[in-house]
Structure 1
């Protein structure tokens, strides 16, 4: 594993290195935060990645962090290290806007559990990362905060919905970002911007957030969390290195029975030194991979083989194909009751994107799937979860593409219904995993024509150690892909 050179500018150094240096009093949190703020001032006007920046508040938190170091206080694993949080996640004193002006109500009174975990670990919450309206696109633009660009290529998406997080990481604004994922919203942005994103096992990181309410003609009502959000959505970190992603995952792991899928204790570490067997799934027979995607898979296979992993090629895996198809049933049918709200308060882009997405889902399931079909989808999901766990155990992982395509051209999902359907087909690796609830990490493995191309590693439930170890082997073999980008 490469160690960050100590003479690098502070914004260039990893979170792991910065936390150790702050603890050892080699650098101060104030200096780190100032360095990141300078980098934000230099790059963010071009990229539009972070919003709701409050430099003086962040510097005050950094000063308190330095005072704790000087006092010999017990320090958390991210003490004094800057991180960002996402605009769809509650942070005390900040507006949870969801990128929708009508939803940008008063500031949150409390932190979501994942944000509280970062705060408890000593992290300095530096800014909020941009996302699409309602967090329902693989692109990151909205009427409240504008468009986020990809530092590698502004004509391509930085990903969504955690596109502000991935763009800011690649540009060096912070070393770690909080995100969430129900259809690739951590993994895909990380891949688009050449950083690391981990979607943990459902329940490992608490999804608890303060109750949300809406004012209606009948009075104030509580907004309950949709079934697919409970069962398929996760909070998780994005980072520039696998080591930092692992550190952030450990910090954010929050046993919490307020979460309907929460766990009572943190999962035990798996035995170290085990080289997981790797099964390669290049496709599911529905769409052809771009040649660059095949190259990224080949490079990953070479790195894993060099690291001592036993690698085999599978001729597809039907359960992944079925899971991706079920995703388009469960996700969209759960979201259907929200369509009137989207029509009322959503911007034109989100309305068009959802209309095209529902049309693509209708081609699979019909215009209005019956309740029996929806119930059967949930029932079949449980069978697929069991089948995949039996296949993987704790010592086998899958290697797949992130997408069949390179990072999409900006606004490809609203170009036409036909193009939107192509995107959904290409994103089968992003859709299959949330339905099943397994951990997955995306890590860059190739650079093709100036664009990073990543792969996805999927492990058994609570086997994050195995996928991160494999991701580390891939990262170690591709040092030239290590961001942040100069952008100078």
Structure 2
């Protein structure tokens, strides 16, 4: 770091000390230091570019980085600060964008070779929000083809590795985002989640990931002239990944802009009323779909203990509503996706095609080979009932602690190894898969490391009550600590 810029003080940032390498700093520390002139955005961006050059060749987390463009954005951020202009919450802070999100001047590849020239003319609303908040858009993070798997590899961009263990998945579909954040390339990465694609990568790489309430963050997923499927409109969200809860808060301050382009966006949504104290917390170990491993159970006990220590009343409960919602995902989402299968057969890669074959084989156990229109309509009707039932439970337990997955990070390509292994993978993800169907907010919080792999828990809360999740996550993080950035292993 340039000696002309002193280290931020502990009284300024609430941290006893900060490392010399700026890429190691949190987004909160970067934003404060840039805004107050302690460091320049150029220095921060140069440091992150150096880290990308050091570790990205091994991890392949960011698949398109334009250093000169990033430095130009940083210089503009420094100019605006020097001119005394109003600064956004992420002013001068590096952020990555996923390859399935529109970013003006970049191809929205979706990890598909046929789309490598699908240039976006304008930002998706959530990308525009980050840009208006002052973020320096640093690069494009990898994703499986069509964001379809919990494993991040595709024929266009190649495989992304988990910095903790190259033999394990970094998660998917936001696996490039989680790998980049965990290894220190960027402090915040954008992701999206319709089946766990923010929370599972965060869990697999030992970082924090938030899935907001449906309607909280304005987005587009398809070009405006393409009709988005009903599941995308009702279940998909954009959410941040970061190394700390404070940085998730910071990112959510940025992802708060109005947009008329999102039919599900709820402008000015009223936050849920603060729950009564002491906070009642439901602890769910097993939905009756897949028994958690000893490591997952230990993480649940650990998080529950931390919450009890600050006065929460933690009670073990059963939550069959989520087991039903999990199976419903494979009716409502997968049957809609079946309409896209001719395109998948034409342009999808071999891994995605095999994953789809296995998904449908397992889903047939519940819904048959060809679910009927009547089943699909009844499924959406049932969805409304389950939303109401879960809402009622959350009035009693405004916070629920449960697994992200019943296993730690899967071995690479476990989903395409066999139908039986896919059946196990799908079952392990049940508590994570259920939540998007019902549109509630949830987040993944790391709790430790076991067997060389991260562990963590999932927090589920009331709609438009992200604040309770963030407060609980802060307690867990304060006791468990943070575990990244790390060097690839």
Alignment CA distance shift 1:354-1:116 (3 Å): same
What is the TM-score when the length of structure 1 is the normalising length? 0.95
Q: Give CA-to-partner distance per residue, 1:454-480, whole Å, 9 cap, x none.
A: 10000000000001110111111111x
Q: Give CA-to-partner distance per residue, 1:337-372, whole Å, 9 cap, x none.
A: 111111111111000000000111011100000111
Task: Report the counterpart of residue 460 of structure 2 in structure 1.
Answer: 458
1:311 aligns with 2:314: yes
Aligned-pair Cα RMSD in Å: 1.7
Separation in structure 2 between the aligned mates of residue 256 and residue 459 of structure 1, nearest angstrom: 25
Given the alignment, which residue of 330, 351, 354 partners 1:352? Answer: 354
Task: Report the counterpart of residue 245 of structure 2 in structure 1.
Answer: 242
Matches within 5 A, 1:401-412: 401-412=403-414
Q: Give CA-to-partner distance per residue, 1:348-407, whole Å, 9 cap, x none.
A: 100000000011101110000011100011000001111111221397111100111111
Separation in structure 2 between the aligned mates of residue 23 and residue 85 of structure 1, nearest angstrom: 23
Separation in structure 2 between the aligned mates of residue 386 and residue 207 of structure 1, nearest angstrom: 25
Task: Report the counterpart of residue 101 of structure 2 in structure 1.
Answer: 89
Q: Residue 113 of structure 1 contacts residue 209 of structure 1 at CA under 8 Å; is this kept in 2?
A: no
Alignment CA distance shift 1:297-1:210 (3 Å): closer
1:484 aligns with 2:485: yes
Q: Residue 280 of structure 2 contacts residue 396 of structure 2 at CA under 8 Å; is this kept in 1?
A: no
Given the alignment, which residue of 289, 293, 301 partners 1:290? Answer: 293
Matches within 5 A, 1:41-190: 41-190=53-202
Separation in structure 2 between the aligned mates of residue 428 and residue 206 of structure 1, nearest angstrom: 27
Report the Cα offset of residue 211 of structure 1. Answer: 2.5
Separation in structure 2 between the aligned mates of residue 320 and residue 8 of structure 1, nearest angstrom: 46
Matches within 5 A, 1:279-428: 279-314=282-317, 316-393=318-395, 396-428=398-430
Alignment CA distance shift 1:275-1:244 (3 Å): farther
Alignment CA distance shift 1:22-1:274 (3 Å): farther
Unpaired runs of at least 5, structure 2: 1-12
Q: Residue 461 of structure 2 contacts residue 469 of structure 2 at CA under 8 Å; is this kept in 1?
A: yes
Alignment CA distance shift 1:154-1:399 (3 Å): same
Q: Residue 2 of structure 1 contacts residue 476 of structure 1 at CA under 8 Å; is this kept in 2?
A: no
1:198 aligns with 2:210: yes
SS in 2 for 1:206: coil
Separation in structure 1 between the aligned mates of residue 277 and residue 211 of structure 2, nearest angstrom: 21
Task: Report the counterpart of residue 216 of structure 1 in structure 2.
Answer: none
Alignment CA distance shift 1:304-1:209 (3 Å): same
Q: Residue 287 of structure 2 contacts residue 431 of structure 2 at CA under 8 Å; is this kept in 1?
A: no
Given the alignment, which residue of 260, 267, 289 partners 1:264? Answer: 267
Separation in structure 2 between the aligned mates of residue 174 and residue 61 of structure 1, nearest angstrom: 15
Aligned length: 477
Task: Report the counterpart of residue 218 of structure 1 in structure 2.
Answer: none
Q: Residue 100 of structure 2 contacts residue 221 of structure 2 at CA under 8 Å; is this kept in 1?
A: no
Separation in structure 2 between the aligned mates of residue 232 and residue 12 of structure 1, nearest angstrom: 34
SS in 1 for 2:459: strand
Q: Give CA-to-partner distance per residue, 1:170-200, whole Å, 9 cap, x none.
A: 0000000000000000000000000000000
Separation in structure 2 between the aligned mates of residue 363 and residue 441 of structure 1, nearest angstrom: 29
Separation in structure 1 between the aligned mates of residue 277 and residue 254 of structure 2, nearest angstrom: 23
SS in 2 for 1:418: helix
Alignment CA distance shift 1:425-1:7 (3 Å): closer
Given the alignment, which residue of 243, 254, 258 partners 1:255? Answer: 258
Report the Cα offset of residue 251 of structure 1. Answer: 1.0
Unpaired runs of at least 5, structure 1: 213-221
Report the Cα offset of residue 256 of structure 1. Answer: 3.2
Q: Residue 299 of structure 1 contacts residue 446 of structure 1 at CA under 8 Å; is this kept in 2?
A: no
